[in-house]
Amino acid sequence: MLTRREFLKRGTAIVSIGMLGPTVFERALRESALAAPAGTPTADRTLIIVQLAGANDGLNTVIPYADGRYRDRRQTIAVPEGTELRLNDRLGLHPNLTWFKERWDGGQLAIVEAVGYPKPSRSHFESMAIWQTADRAALAEGWIGRTLRPEVDGTSIRALGIGAQPPLEFIASGFAAPSFSNIQQYRIAPGPGNYDPAPALLRLYNQYPSTAPFAALLDGAMQEVYRSTTALQQIHAAYKPKAEYPNTPFAAGLRVLAEAVNADLGLRVGHVSLGGFDTHDSEINGLPPLLTTLNDGLRALFADLEAHGRADSVAVMVWSEFGRRVYQNGSGGTDHGKGNAMFLVGPPVKGGATYGDPADLGNLDDGDIAFHTDFRSVYATLLNDWLQVEPRAVLGQSYPLLGFMRT
C-alpha cells in the first residue's frame, strides 16, 4: 500500500500531465467566476465525520455490562458496574456520554457493533488509510473525495475539514476542499492602502506551468483559498451561535461546521478529528476526558443546529481505526485490537437500536473482538440512504445496507 504522500505525488502528477490544461480563455473565465459572489445551492443533507484518532476503546465506550467476562478481563479498567448508562439488557454507555444516552432515548443514536474489515491491520496508519480510502489498493483516493468529485461546481463548498492538514478522506485528484484549524486565521491578509494581493496570487498560480510538479494541487489550492476564505469569513462574521460551545478546539471546529450548514454553502461532508485515544497506559485517566470532549462538543453542535432549525439535515458518523484488546495490558491500558463500535447520531438516524451482530467476548480473534460488519456497509448505507450517491460508484462493489437511516 502506498503512503498518502506517494499517492498524492503520483495522483496529482497524473492530473498535471495526463489532462490537457484549460485554455487561457477558460482560465480567465474561471478566474472571473471566482470573483463573482457565490451562488450557493442548498444541500439539505450533510454528513459530519468525527474521527477518534488513535483507536478508541469500543469496549469501554459501549459496554457489555451484563457479560461477566468484560470485568474478568479488565480487572482495573472496566467501567464500574452500575455507573454505565444502560441502553438495554446487554449494553450501556460510558458514564460521560450523557448526550449520547439522551439521543438513544430519543431514537436518534444508532450503534453498529463489531465493525471492521477482513485481514485487519494493527498499524494505526495503515488501518486509518484503509478506513479513509475504503480500499487497500495502491493509489487509493479518499472515499469522500471520490464521492464528491462529480459534484464540484466551483461555487459551493462541498466539504470542509477542520485540522491543519486535509483529512485523507478528502484527497482525490480533481477535488479540493478547504481545511484549516482556526477560522480566525483563515483570511488573505490585505496590505497597506487596501492592497488586495488575491488577484495577483490567483494569476501567478494559474500561470504556474501545468507540467510542473504538483501544478494541479497548487492551482486548485489557491483557488479554493480565495473562494473559501471569502465565503467563510463573511458567514463567520455574521454568525450568532444559539448554543454555548465548550472551549475546546474540537467544539470550535464543530461550530465552524454548523456555520457552514446554516449558511447554505452546499456543505455535504464535514470532517473533524479528536485525538489521544491510543490508551496503552492508564486508560482510566486518559479516556474519560476525551469522551467528555466528544459528548459536550456534539451536544453543543446539535443544540445550535436545532435552534437554527437545521438539525434534521445533519447526520454524524463517529469512527476509529480499530478497537482495542479485550484483555487489559500491564500498564492499566489496552493494546491494539480489531472490531469496534461505531456511532451514527442525529435526527435523520433510525436510532435507539443496534445494528450488526454483537461483539462476542466468547469468540475472540487472537484476543480481539472479531469483526462482524464491514465498515464499508456503513459507508454504503450513508451513501445510498443519506448522501444519495450510488454506493457502488464509490466503493467499487456492493455491500449490504444496514438500514440505520430513516430515509
Binding stretches for other proteins (CB under 8 A): 4-6, 8-10, 12, 53-54, 121-126, 161, 164-166, 176-182, 185-189, 191-193, 195, 197, 200-201, 203-205, 207-209, 212-215, 217-219, 221-222, 224-225, 228-229, 275-276, 278, 280-281, 329-331, 333, 335-336, 366
Which three cell numbers mark 296? 459536550
Alpha carbon distance 363, 360 (integer Å): 6
CA 55, distance to chain mean position in Å, is: 14
CB of 28 to other proteins, least distance (A): 13
At position 78, the amino acid (one-letter code) is: A
> In 10 A of CB 23, how many CB atoms?
9
Q: How far is the CB of 103 from other proteins (least distance, A)?
A: 30
The residues, ordered by sequence, that sit 6+ positions from 309 with a Cβ below 8 Å of its Cβ are: none
Are 68 and 240 spatial neighbours (Cβ–Cβ below 8 Å)?
Answer: no
Q: Tell me the three state secondary structure of residue 49.
A: strand
Which of 168, 305 has the CB closer to other proteins? 168
What grid cell was written down for 121?
491491520
Select 62 or 290, whichever has its Cβ closest to other proteins.
290
d(CA 269, CA 251): 17
- Cβ closest to other proteins, residue 42 vs residue 182: 182
Residue 406 Cβ vs other proteins, minimum distance, rounded to whole Å: 34
Could you tell me if 94 and 113 are in contact, meaning their C-beta atoms sit under 8 angstroms apart? no
Least distance to other proteins from the beta carbon of 250, Å? 14
Using CA atoms, how far apart are residues 247 and 250, in angstroms rounded to an integer?
A: 8
Contact call for residues 113 and 62 (beta carbons, < 8 A): yes
Angstrom distance (rounded) from CA 302 to CA 296: 10
- Closer by beta carbon to other proteins, 206 or else 354: 206
The label of the residue with cell 492508564 reads 282
The CB-of-295 to other proteins minimum distance in angstroms stands at 21
Q: How far is the CB of 146 from other proteins (least distance, A)?
A: 18
- Report the C-alpha gap between 296 and 99 in whole angstroms: 7
* Residue with cell string 485487519: 120
CB of 366 to other proteins, least distance (A): 8
Nearer to other proteins, 58 or 166 (CB): 166
Nearer to other proteins, 229 or 384 (CB): 229
Q: Please, what is the minimum distance in Å from the beta carbon of residue 331 to other proteins? A: 4
Q: Which is nearer to other proteins, 92 or 120 (CB)?
A: 120
Residues contacting 239, CB < 8 A, separation 6+: 259, 262, 263
CB of 16 to other proteins, least distance (A): 12
Regarding beta strands 159-162 and 92-93, do their DSSP bridges make them parallel or antiparallel, or are they unpaired?
A: unpaired
| 165 or 398: CB nearest other proteins | 165
Minimum Å gap between C-beta 190 and other proteins is: 9
The residue (of 8 and 85) whose beta carbon lies closer to other proteins is 8
Q: Specify the residue, 18 or 191, whose C-beta has the smaller distance to other proteins.
A: 191
- Report the SS3 class of residue 243: coil
- Among 42, 24, 308, CA closest to 155: 42
- How would you label 60-79 residue by residue, b for 16+ Cβ within 10 Å and e otherwise? bbbbbbebeebbebbeebbb
